[in-house]
Chain A
Amino acid sequence: MALTLMKGSEAIAEAAIRAGARYFFGYPITPQTEIPEYMSARMPEVGGCFLQAESEVAAINMVYGAGGTGARVITSSSSPGVSLKQEGISYCAGANVPCVIINVMRGGPGLGNIQASQGDYFQGTKGGGNGDYHLLTFAPSSVQEFIDLMMVAYDKAEYYRIPVLFLADGIIAQMMEPVELPEMVDFKIDPEKKPWACTGWQPGDDPEKRGIINSIYIDTESLAVHNDELQAMYKTVIENEQQWEEFNCEGADYIITAFGTVARIAKSAITELKAQGINVGLIRPITVWPFPYDAIKKVVAQDSVKAVLDVELNEGQMLEDVKLAIGGAKDVDFFGHCGSQMPTTDEIVAKILSMKEGK
């Protein structure tokens, strides 16, 4: 299939449609507004629904409503907007409503700025809303990877009945890359496959099949059972869904950990360092929840590895998971920027050199 040069946000939106999404609810916010703009034109062409909500709060609750019918539903926003969605995301998690949420991260905290950031790692991987829940959280590092993950996101969301979050920095949405778009998936709501969904029940039908989309379990025992079921599901997600990329890790002297666009800059730095005779590897989590703790532990445990450098476009958030993975076995250093200044290849090279010199 031919490659097409597409802007990230538009390619992502088209991929969602090809993955079967037919309902988009959102609210404009930079740097992801091209997603709702694209959806507003494209959804009617495929018999879908684009609706501009009055707020991000309303948009995620529309997702909760539409997702509870068994439809494939999506919303997108950027950091401050995703903060507003946290209430609804927690309800989707609590009521096991499958859906896809995109966060094109910008600088924070508060209103921050509109440049690329990875400042919502904590929010995207440690909860964000209230209660004991997780999202299946993907952190793509290219537009093509975003597309490919989108094509499996709904299957996974529906299989586990878990909301899927895409944690992308603003670069992914704003840059243009050549991409290959897959064929359109033929998706229809199937009440047999989704007995939990609100698809039309009447008195006299099997009482077990009455659709109740709900996250309240008022008595202690019922809530405990519900949470046990959620935790059992999260356990299978942890066992089955970890994804990561290893680059030049075998026998490396240093290991860089990074996710998203920053990992691509790290690769350039690794290539430059190789030319200088310094052997550096990269391990890049593709799922940041579940986090590939064991994979990182294994790579770093190699005798050749002297130390680890975590690079992020924030003040060190994934750093905490990297340290958990390594458990103090090797030194972990950090390099990153807030204020949405991308770490450069030269800066990463300089950092590794300073580590090598023991500075």
Chain B
Amino acid sequence: MAVVFEKTKYLTDKVFHYCPGCGHGIIHRLVAEVIDEMNLNGKVIGVAPVGCSVFAYDYFNCDMYEAAHGRAPAVATGVKRVVGKDTLVFTYQGDGDLASIGTAEIVHVAHRGEKISTIFVNNAIYGMTGGQMAPTTLVGQKATTCPKGRDEDWCGKPIKMAEMLSAVPSSYYIERCAVNNTANINKTKKAIAKAFRLQMEGKGFCMVEVLSPCPTNWGLAPTEAMKWLEDNMMPYYPLGVFKDKEAE
């Protein structure tokens, strides 16, 4: 019988710990498939964050680091400065990690034009610790640390990392995608592939932000969560390319 599909070898056989309906499983597979298709012969090192994807080192089947909370871009910098241009170095980070505790590290990795790629999974909540307000939590969205919903007067408006990092002079390519439907999943994979290709071509810092559902902490069924993402996150976090120096 002809084999028509195989799981990419850049994912281990370890069973994901992610909740039903979580977007991490899809995004992990996209990242791993892109790595596989690049034929890097082991020249790839990933850096996992703190948060729901803290165990990404158990899932991505390549050399991996587990970084301190928010510090993945700094760790990746240290790695890249040693291994050089022939090795793909990527960070995989959530919104609590990247957009809150790790803002200094992500801004300065972009500022230095560090030749690494970041996959930024934005689900507008702290997942691993059980649904606290993130910098990305929408105004009015309920979380365990804003039980009445995010109050703009008290906490400000959610931070837009793709837009913000696009304003950093040395960032190279910044795109926001989503995994809410097949078409957008395919677009996400293309964006990841582009970010990784640009890195291997020696270009500057690239980030793909991916809007991703968190049914568990949003208190919704998986299908409802997809709809909530479309109705609430996508209007505030518009999809698209925010910076592309290659196209300029």
Quick check: is B87 within 8 A (CB to CB) of the other chain?
Answer: yes
Which of B54, B65, B104 contacts A198, CB < 8 Å? B65
Determine whether the beta carbon of B67 is less than 8 Å from that of A200.
Answer: no
Q: Contacts A23-B81, A66-B79, A66-B81 hold; do A58 and B71 have CB atoms under 8 A apart?
A: yes
Q: Are B74 and A87 in contact (CB under 8 A)?
A: no
Q: Which residue in chain A gives the minimum CB-CB distance to B83?
A: A69
Complex contacts, A61 vs chain B, CB 8 Å: 67-68, 71, 74-75, 78, 105
* Minimum CB distance partner of B11 in chain A: A203
Contacts of B74 in A (CB 8 A): 53, 57-59, 61-62, 65
B244 within 8 A of A: no
Does residue B10 face the partner (Cβ distance < 8 Å to A)? yes
Contact A65 B42 (CB under 8 A): no
B34 interface residue, CB < 8 Å from A? no
Closest residue on chain A to residue B72 by CB atoms = A61
Interface residues on B, range: 35 or more
Pair B78/A65 contact, Cβ less than 8 Å: yes
Does any Cβ of A come within 8 Å of B209's Cβ? no
Q: Can you list, as one digit per residue, whether each of A49-64 has a CB less than 8 Å from chain B (1) or not (0)?
A: 1010111011101111
Q: Which of B32-83 contact A (CB under 8 A)?
A: 40-43, 45, 47, 54-55, 57, 61-68, 71, 74-83
Which of the residues B41, B81, B82 comes within 8 Å of A202, measured between beta carbons?
A: B41
Q: How far is the CA of A58 from the CA of B75 in the complex (A)?
A: 8
A67 at interface, CB cutoff 8 A: yes
On whether the beta carbons of A202 and B78 are closer than 8 Å, the reply is no
Which has the most chain B C-beta neighbours within 10 Å: A53, A88, A202?
A202
Q: How large is the interface on A (under 10, 10 to 19, 20 to 34, 35 or more residues)?
A: 35 or more
Residues in B3-28 with C-beta less than 8 Å from chain A: 9-10
Interface centre among A61, A213, A214 (most CB of B within 10 A): A61
Check if A324 is an interface residue, CB within 8 A of chain B: no
Query: In the complex the two chains form, is B104's CB within 8 Å of A201's CB?
Result: no
Knowing A54-B105, A54-B108, A58-B105 are in contact, say whether A63-B62 is a contact too (CB < 8 A): no
Evaluate contact between B77 and A65: CB separation under 8 angstroms. Answer: yes
Interface residues of A (CB under 8 A from B): 23, 25, 49, 51, 53-55, 57-59, 61-69, 71, 73, 87-88, 91, 95, 189, 198-205, 210-216, 218
- List 25 A-B pairs, Cβ < 8 Å: A25-B78, A51-B77, A53-B108, A57-B74, A58-B104, A58-B108, A61-B105, A64-B67, A65-B47, A65-B65, A65-B80, A66-B79, A66-B81, A66-B82, A68-B75, A69-B79, A71-B82, A88-B71, A91-B68, A198-B79, A198-B83, A200-B42, A200-B87, A203-B62, A214-B64
Nearest 4 A/B pairs, CB to CB: A65-B78, A202-B42, A62-B78, A61-B74
